[in-house]
Structure 1
C-alpha cells in the first residue's frame, strides 16, 4: 500500500513519509529496495512524529505501513550494525537505545496505533508493529524474529512478546528463527486482525474519517487455521526445558518430522545466540513490564555487538553469503553457564542501561488493546 500525498500535512523525510489526511496520521516506511529496513534516522523520525501527533487533537488515529509490495519492514539495517560492530558497537548501542524507547512508546501510545503487518515483518519490523494497539495481518504476512541465524538475539521487545505466547510456541520461534503466517501471528499474540491485502487501501481511506473499530470491522475476515497452533502438543513437550542442549535432544528424538527439522534448524544457529536467547525468554517471562524486558535486551544486545558471533553471522549470511558461519564456541554443549549469565550483567558507566535513559520510568499499558 503506497503513500498518498493529499491533505493538510505532508512531509517527506526520504526514508520515512509522514502524512496527515483527515483524522489520520500516516507513517510510511520508505526504503522499499531494502524492504524498509530501519536506520537510526528513521527511528528518530518516527519517534518525533508520534510525539507530535500524540498532542495534536486533530489526529485521532495513527497508521504505519511499508512502501512497496514486499513488506512492512525487514528489521534493522544489518549491514550498518555489522560495520559498527567491527568498530566496537558504540553507534549500535545508541541506535538500540532510541529504537527500544520507540518500541515502549508505541506500546503505551494514547491513541489507536494501527500497524499493517503485510508481507515481510521481521526483527525491528515487529518492534514498530506488534507493540501497537491494532495489529493487522494479511494472507501475505511473514512475521518473525530471525536473529539467532545471524548470531544475535531477539530484541525490540521480541522476548517480551515471545515469552507470553501460548505454551512454548514463542520459544520455538525464538530458537529456530523461522517466520510465521498471519494466522499464526494472531494465534500467538503478535497480531489482532486478518484483513485481505486487497482491502488495505480501502482501510487506510476509511481511517481518515471513521473510528478504528468500525473501519476494521468493515474489512476484517476470519483468520485461517493456524498451522503452528496445531503443533503445540509436541512443541510444548520438547521446549519445556531451560537447557538448549536438552531441547535439541528432545526434538531430535521426537517421532514428529517437524520436531526433528526444528532440531536441525537450531543446530545451524550460533550456539551462543541460541543459549542466550533461551535464557532471555525465560527471564523475560518472569519480568513484569515491557520496559524491564527492553532494559534486559539492551544489555544483551550491546554485548553481542562487542563479541564475535554477530559479526560472523552477518558476514556469512549477508556480506560474503557463503552460508558457512564459524561459530565460537561451535557446539551448544560448549556454551558455559557463566558465559550465558555474563550477557545479562549490568553495563558500566560508558553504556548506561535504558533505565538511565529514562525508559524504565515510563508506564507501560501492555493489556491495552483497542479493538
Structure 2
C-alpha cells in the first residue's frame, strides 16, 4: 500500500485513535492562533509553519497527520511551485519528536508507540520523494524529528542559530528518521561519528558538514522567504539561484574553518572499523585527548543503541531511503519492546540525573542474537512505502 492510500484510507480511524490517546495523556490540539501547524499559500509557495514554540516545535502525531496530506495536495497543485517549512519562536526549527508522549504510550502498550514512528517515516519519505522544490528553513535547534522534516528535502538553509544533532544513542534509541540513509553519505566517517557520539554542529558548520545545503544569516531569512514566495512559476533551478545568492552574501563565520577539520583524519581512521568494539579499541590505542574524549562520550551511551546504530549505518549506505525507513521502523519497535529507551528517557529527559542504567551495561554483553532480533522483519506489520 503506498503512502497516499495509507493517508486516505486510514485517516479517519487514525484521528479517532489519536483523540483517545491524546485524552489519556493530557495533550490537546488547538485551533486558530494556537494551532500546532499553520498551513498557508503565499504567492507561489505552500508554507508549513511548526507552531509549538514552548515545546521547541517538537513534532507530535497530530502535526504529522496535518503536514503529510498537505504536502501531497501541494505536490499535485499546478499553482504551487515551492514548499517551505519553518518553525516559530526564534529558538528552534524542530527540536525532535514528542518523545515523552511516545514513552508514556509505549509503557501503557498503546498504539501511539507504533503509529507515531510509522506515520513519521511515511512523512519523511514523502519529503524525500517530493516532486516540488522543498525548502527547510532550519533557523534554530534541529534535532531528531526536525532533521527528518528537513534533511531529505531538496534545500536546507542553516543560520548562525542552527544547532544540529542526532543524540539518540544517549536515550536508548538510534538516529532514525532516515539517519541510516543520510549519515553514511556524509564525507568520510563523519556520519558514523555524529551518529554514535551525538556531537552537536552549530551554524555554518551544519552546512559545511553537508547536512544543510546553504547558510544564510538569521536576520535575512524573512527576506529570503519573501523573495522565494514572490517568484513567478519558479523551477528548482530558480529556487537554487535565490538561495545561492543569499548564501554568497552571508559573511558570519565565513573565514572560520569547519570545527572538526583538525580532527577529520582521526575520525576517518579511528571510526573506520568492523564493529563498535573495534572503534573503542582504536580510541584506546590512539590515546590522544580527542580520542579519550570520544571514549568517555561513548561510555555514556546505550551499548545496544551503539551497536544497533553502527549496523544501521553500515547497511544503510547501500540502501534506498525507502528500504532504510523500513529497517528503521523495525528498529523503532525493537526499542519500544526493550529497556534502554524508557530508562534513557527517564534519566536524561525526566529525572535529568544523566545516569541511565543500561541493560546490558557493556558492549560485549550485547549479543549477535540480540542485535539480529532488532532488525528482524515484522511481517504484516512492516512499514509499507
TM over 0.5: yes
Q: Aligned partners of 2:203, 2:372: CA distance in 1, in Å?
A: 34
Quote how far apart the aligned CAs of 1:11 are.
7.9
Secondary structure of the equivalent of 1:225? Answer: coil
Q: Aligned partners of 2:36, 2:285: CA distance in 1, in Å?
A: 48
Say whether the 8 Å CA contact 2:102–2:116 is kept in structure 1.
no
Task: Indicate which of 161, 167, 176 corresponds to 1:146.
Answer: 167
Q: Aligned partners of 2:208, 2:295: CA distance in 1, in Å?
A: 23
Q: Aligned partners of 1:271, 1:168: CA distance in 2, in Å?
A: 20
2:291 is the alignment partner of 1:259:
yes
User: What TM-score comes out, normalization by structure 1 length?
Assistant: 0.89
Quote how far apart the aligned CAs of 1:342 are.
1.3
Pick closer, same or farther for the CA change 1:157–1:13 going to 2, 3 Å. Answer: farther
2:375 is the alignment partner of 1:354:
no
Quote how far apart the aligned CAs of 1:150 are.
0.5
* Equivalent runs, 1:206-225 vs 2, <5 Å: 206-210=227-231, 211-221=238-248, 224-225=256-257
Quote how far apart the aligned CAs of 1:258 are.
2.1
Aligned length: 344
Deviation track 1:226-272 (CA, whole Å, cap 9, x = no partner) reads 22244210001111112112212212332432221111111101111
Q: Aligned partners of 1:231, 1:312: CA distance in 2, in Å?
A: 32
Q: Aligned partners of 1:321, 1:11: CA distance in 2, in Å?
A: 34
Say whether the 8 Å CA contact 1:161–1:189 is kept in structure 2.
no
Deviation track 1:25-67 (CA, whole Å, cap 9, x = no partner) reads 1110000111100000101111011011112122111110011
Q: Counterpart in 2 of 1:127?
A: 148
Task: Indicate which of 343, 358, 371 corresponds to 1:340.
Answer: 371
Say whether the 8 Å CA contact 1:88–1:306 is kept in structure 2.
no
Q: Aligned partners of 1:240, 1:257: CA distance in 2, in Å?
A: 19
Pick closer, same or farther for the CA change 1:11–1:225 going to 2, 3 Å. Answer: farther
Structure 2, unaligned runs of 5 or more: 1-30, 232-237
Structure (1 or 2) with the greater helix fraction: 2
Q: Counterpart in 1 of 2:355?
A: 324
Deviation track 1:315-366 (CA, whole Å, cap 9, x = no partner) reads 11111222111100111121112211111011144xx1113xxx1xxxxxxx
Pick closer, same or farther for the CA change 1:25–1:330 going to 2, 3 Å. Answer: same
Pick closer, same or farther for the CA change 1:308–1:89 going to 2, 3 Å. Answer: farther
Deviation track 1:285-321 (CA, whole Å, cap 9, x = no partner) reads 132x100000000001111011111000001111122
Q: Aligned partners of 2:318, 2:161: CA distance in 1, in Å?
A: 33
Say whether the 8 Å CA contact 1:89–1:306 is kept in structure 2.
no
Task: Indicate which of 277, 285, 292 corresponds to 2:317.
Answer: 285
Q: Pairwise CA RMSD of aligned residues?
A: 1.7
Q: Counterpart in 2 of 1:54?
A: 75
Pick closer, same or farther for the CA change 1:71–1:154 going to 2, 3 Å. Answer: same
Q: Counterpart in 2 of 1:236?
A: 268
